[in-house]
Amino acid sequence: MVFVLIALWTIAAILLIINPKNEPTRWAALTAFTGGGGGLSRAVTETILPYLDKHQISTPAFDAWLFKLHLAGSFMNHNGLPYCFLMFAISYSGLFRRKVKTILLWTLPVPILVMLWITPFSPDIQLNFQVLFSWCVPYLITGIILLMYSFVIEKNVKRKKSRLFSNLVAFPPILFQIVANYTLKAFFDIQEIWRFMPFVITVLLMSFLLLGIKYGVLGVRLKFEKDRLDGTMRAISYGTNVLNHTIKNEVGKIRIVTDQIRMLASSSHQENIANEATVVLDSTNHMLEMVSRIQSRTQEIVLKEEVNDIKDTLSRALLMSKLHLNERNIQVIIEDMRTEVFLFCDPVHMQETFHNIIVNAAEAMEPGGTLTISMHETRKHIVFVFKDSGKGISKDELSCLFDPFFSTKHRKTNYGLGLTYCYNVLQQHGGSIEVQSELHIGTTVTIQLPKKRIRPGILPYTEVRDIGADQSHVS
């Protein structure tokens, strides 16, 4: 049972370290932690205390302290796990409002307090398994139902897959808990089935690690991806600063020498050489402009936030994109757009983000294509959806879309920084961007901004918060 303790508490630690701010992840960690209490209890009574007694290296006081750990672990496992799992399911399902969740947070532990009152702890813990069954099993089954229902109704393909894998990880140990720790003990007085728990936990640990790393479970993979992208951006920012400095110095030397050659050629009426020198000078200008534009997109974005109508920001982005849309005869359809939504954000960076997405959609479609833009609200977010009728993106390319310098356009004028820039802008705003695509059908880009950024209207000028800005466009 030492393995059960280590495995479950390791899972809890991984969840808390990787995604501590996510509410469902915290409850999942608490579920694993309380489940590890059973391993702690058995490890104390069956491994640690016998070892200390055999080697006569303990004291009565230390033995008493360890025995209290056994009592706490056993009680925590049987009583705390159902509550934590149900709260995880309530939080992860997204089916309950904050007020309802708060009420459940404080009312669902009532049976635990009752059990604490009626459970004898001397000479050893004596749990009433029939009473435990009466509330623990309904808690656990309700949690399973909530997770299954949230999976069934999920429309987003990526989140649906993540919910499926989360359920595959969570259900086996919970079902084993229902059977071994409650049903068999309450009605058949069978006490030893729990000894199969290490096998169940081995499956849980392997599933959690493999699915979490490869596909994403409870946000684990998403966090890994964010850390990887953030680290890549930091490395690229440093690299482009060094590269920019070096290129400026070396190109500066080339420009001086080339300009001298051009002047000498002109004075000696060698027009061919003068013209060639002019071409070199133009090339150096282009090189410096390109490096400058790349650097502007890899630097850390600093927001200049103010309250503005986000619909106007979108309209300006459409106006900026008019040339691309008209060239390809793209029809733009606006759906479900509220009259006014005032958000506290950086209008320049948000406009540029919308512009990038619209241009990408236009370039992905054949002439006569359709771009549908809609906006709706969830309980926590303002959501913008850009759906095009383009050629779509393959799964291999889809996984690399936000990587710096990756582009599906394969043209010299595309640096592969557009979506990376959009990702960074939305991260700075506390939002997110997600891309779904299917070959020969089209691509859907979904932007989410926190609803807490909504304001009732334009603030007075003195209330606008100015923290700097950085502007430019690179596709």
What would the pLDDT profile of 297-311 be if each residue is shown by its tens digit?
Answer: 555 566 788 888 888
What residue type is assigned to position 407 of the chain?
S
First-to-final CA distance of the chain: 56
Phi, then psi, of 159 in degrees rounded to 5? -70, -35
pTM of structure: 0.52
Pairing of strands 342-345, 370-377: unpaired
Whether 472 shows a pLDDT value over 80: the answer reads no
* Lowest-pLDDT range of 279-288, 325-334, 352-361, 412-421: 412-421
pLDDT at 199: 67
Residue 369: CB atoms within 10 Å: 19
- Alpha helical stretches, state H, 76-219: 81-93, 98-107, 110-118, 129-153, 157-176, 184-187, 197-214
**Which one of 10-19, 88-97, 128-137 scores highest in mean pLDDT?**
128-137
How many Å is the maximal CA-CA distance in the chain? 109
Whether 221 shows a pLDDT value over 60: the answer reads no
What residue type is assigned to position 285 of the chain?
N
Whether 29 shows a pLDDT value over 50: the answer reads yes
Which tokens go with 83? 């509550």
Task: Give the model confidence (pLDDT) of 33-59 as tens digits.
Answer: 998 888 888 888 888 888 888 888 878
Q: Please, which residues bridge with residue 375 across strands?
A: 384
Q: Check residue 329 and report its DSSP letter.
A: T
Give the DSSP H/E element, type plus range, for residue 20: none
pLDDT at 113: 95
- Strand, helix or coil for residue 404: coil
What residues have CB less than 8 Å from 166, skipping those under 6 apart? 92, 147, 217, 218
Residue 325 · residue 285 · CB < 8 Å:
no
What residues have CB less than 8 Å from 239, skipping those under 6 apart? none
Q: Which residue has the tokens 């479609």?
A: 365
- Strand, helix or coil for residue 112: helix
Per the model's pLDDT, the better-predicted residue between 235 and 157 turns out to be 157
pLDDT at 372: 92
Residue 349 · residue 308 · CB < 8 Å:
no
pLDDT at 475: 41
